[in-house]
C-alpha cells in the first residue's frame, strides 16, 4: 500500500492582487508569492510580460479553482507608444526592423482610435505564447523561423489617448477583453499612422472584478513576512501556530468568492451546506432565490461553498470548496 505524500505548505486560500514589478516574470511572481505565504498551491490569472508592471491576480489554495472566472474578466492597461520604429517583439526588448521620421499629430491619432474599438481582428505578436502547430510562437521566432500567425477576434471596449508628452510619444488607456495584445495595438496603430511604433511602457491597472485599490506590493509582503524562528523558539508547524505567525500577511488576501462577482450568489443554511458538501442538490428557498441559472455559487456563513447550476429552483453543485 502506497503512502499518500503529505502536502507541503499551509492550506491557505484567497486572492492576492500583486503589483508585479518590471523585470519579474509571471511564473517567477507566483513562485515568490507561494513561498512568502508558505502556500500549498498557487496560480495566476493572466500572464503579464516581464517588461510590464501592474496587476497580476494570484490565487492561493482553493481560490485556484476560480482562476478561469478572473481570466475572463475585463482588463485595463495604461501604455506608452514610442513612434518612429517597429521592433521584432513590438516592445523595447526586440531589435528595430523599420524606422520612420514621420510623427503623428493629436488629430490623426484621435481619428484612428474608433478603428480599434469594438470587436476587431488582431494578429498577435510573433514573440507571444500563441501555439503554432503545437509550439509556442516565441520559441519558433527565437529559433529564426518565419511564422504566420492568423488574425483572431478580440474585443476592445474603450481606447483613449491620455497624454502626448512629446511628438515621439503617446500614452493610451485601453479597456479590453481576454486575449487582446496591447503590443499588437501599438504595432498596428504605428503602421496605420505611417510612422511605426512599439510599446515603451506597459502597466495593467485592472482585472475585473479587482481594481487598483486591491494592489499589494512586494515590499509590503516582504515587510509582513514572519521571521524564521530561532533555535530556542523551535518551529511549531501546527496549523494554529502557522496561522498566527502569518496573520499579518493573510490580511492581504481577498476572499475567494470575490472572483465570482459575475455569478448569482445564494446563501444557504447549515443543513443545506452539509448536503452540498456531500455532493447533493438542495432546494433554494426565499423570495429572491433564482429559479434557473446556468451557473451560480452558494455561500455558507459568508464563505464560498460551491459552484454549480440552478434548475427548477434546485442548486446542483459541480465544484465544492473546502476553504
Residues 175 and 100 in one domain: yes
The model's pTM? 0.88
303-322 per-position pLDDT tens digit: 999 999 999 999 999 999 98
Indicate whether 193 and 304 sit together in one domain.
no
Q: Is residue 246 part of a domain?
A: no
Boundary-marking domain end, from 189, 207, 225: 207
In angstroms, how far is CA 99 from the centroid of its own chain? 34
Residue in this structure with the C-alpha cell 510619444, named with its chain if needed = 169
Residue 224 lies in a domain: no
The larger pLDDT score, comparing residue 258 to residue 6, is at 258
Residues 78/173, Cβ–Cβ less than 8 Å: yes
pLDDT at 4: 53
Among the listed ranges 126-140, 170-184, 204-218, 219-233, which one has the minimum average pLDDT value?
Answer: 126-140
**Residue in 49, 90, 214, 250 annotated catalytic:** 49
277 and 167 part of one domain: no
Query: Per the domain annotation, does 240 fall within a domain?
Result: no
Which single residue is written with the C-alpha cell 482585472? 207
Count of domains for the chain: 2
Domain containing 288 equals 263-320
Of the three residues 182, 207, 232, the one that is the final residue of a domain is: 207
* pLDDT on residue 244: 78
Give the CATH number, domain containing residue 201: 3.30.2350.10
**Confidence band (pLDDT; 50, 70, 90) for 242?**
low
Residue 79 and residue 185 share a domain: yes
Provide the grid cell at 241. Answer: 501556530
The contacts of residue 28 (CB under 8 Å, 6+ apart) are none
Q: Is residue 250 one of the residues assigned to a domain?
A: no
pLDDT in tens, 61-78: 999 999 999 999 999 999
pLDDT digits (tens, 9 = 90+) for 10-31: 889 999 999 999 999 999 999 9
* DSSP 8-state symbol, 92: T
- Nine-digit cell at 21? 514589478
Span 258-276, average pLDDT: 94
In a domain, 221, yes or no: no
Distance CA 58, CA 15 (A): 6
Q: 276 and 200 in one domain?
A: no
Rounded CA-CA distance 106/172 in Å is: 12
- Does the residue 51 lie in any domain? no
Residue 135 forms part of a structural domain: yes
Instruction: Answer yes or no: do 282 and 190 share one domain.
Output: no
Whole-number average pLDDT of the chain? 88
Average pLDDT over residues 257-282: 94
Check which CATH number belongs to the domain holding 288 and give it. 2.30.130.10
Determine, yes or no, domain membership for 4. Answer: no
- Residue 148: exposed, middle, or buried by beta-carbon count in 10 A (0-12, 13-18, 19+)? exposed
Please say if 49 is a catalytic residue: yes
Q: Judge if 80 and 202 occupy the same domain.
A: yes
Amino acid at each position: 500500500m502506497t503512502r499518500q505524500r503529505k502536502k507541503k505548505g499551509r492550506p491557505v486560500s484567497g486572492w492576492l492582487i500583486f503589483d508585479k514589478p518590471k523585470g519579474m516574470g509571471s511564473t517567477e511572481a507566483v513562485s515568490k508569492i507561494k513561498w512568502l505565504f508558505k502556500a500549498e498551491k498557487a496560480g495566476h490569472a493572466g500572464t503579464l510580460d516581464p517588461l510590464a508592471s501592474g496587476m497580476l491576480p494570484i490565487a492561493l489554495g482553493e481560490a485556484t479553482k476560480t482562476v478561469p472566472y478572473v481570466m475572463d474578466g475585463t482588463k485595463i492597461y495604461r501604455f506608452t507608444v514610442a513612434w518612429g520604429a517597429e521592433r521584432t517583439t513590438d516592445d523595447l526588448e526586440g531589435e528595430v526592423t523599420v524606422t520612420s521620421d514621420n510623427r503623428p499629430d493629436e488629430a490623426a491619432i484621435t481619428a484612428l482610435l474608433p478603428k480599434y474599438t469594438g470587436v476587431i481582428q488582431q494578429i498577435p505578436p510573433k514573440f507571444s505564447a500563441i501555439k503554432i502547430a503545437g509550439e509556442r510562437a516565441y520559441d519558433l521566432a527565437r529559433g529564426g523561423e518565419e511564422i504566420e500567425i492568423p488574425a483572431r477576434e478580440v474585443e476592445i471596449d474603450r481606447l483613449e489617448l491620455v497624454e502626448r508628452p512629446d511628438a515621439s510619444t503617446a500614452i493610451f488607456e485601453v479597456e479590453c477583453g481576454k486575449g487582446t495584445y496591447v503590443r499588437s495595438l501599438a504595432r498596428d496603430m504605428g503602421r496605420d499612422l505611417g510612422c511605426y511604433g512599439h510599446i515603451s511602457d506597459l502597466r495593467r491597472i485592472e482585472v475585473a472584478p479587482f481594481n487598483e485599490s486591491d494592489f499589494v506590493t512586494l515590499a509590503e509582503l516582504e515587510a509582513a513576512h514572519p521571521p524564521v524562528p530561532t533555535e530556542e523558539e523551535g518551529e511549531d508547524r501546527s496549523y494554529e501556530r502557522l496561522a498566527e505567525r502569518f496573520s499579518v500577511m493573510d490580511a492581504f488576501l481577498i476572499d475567494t468568492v470575490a472572483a465570482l462577482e459575475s455569478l448569482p450568489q445564494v446563501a444557504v443554511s447549515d443543513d443545506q451546506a452539509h448536503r452540498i458538501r456531500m455532493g447533493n442538490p438542495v432546494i433554494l428557498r426565499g423570495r429572491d432565490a433564482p429559479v434557473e441559472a446556468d451557473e451560480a455559487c452558494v455561500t455558507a456563513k459568508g464563505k464560498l461553498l460551491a459552484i454549480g447550476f440552478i434548475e427548477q429552483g434546485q442548486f446542483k453543485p459541480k465544484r465544492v470548496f473546502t476553504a
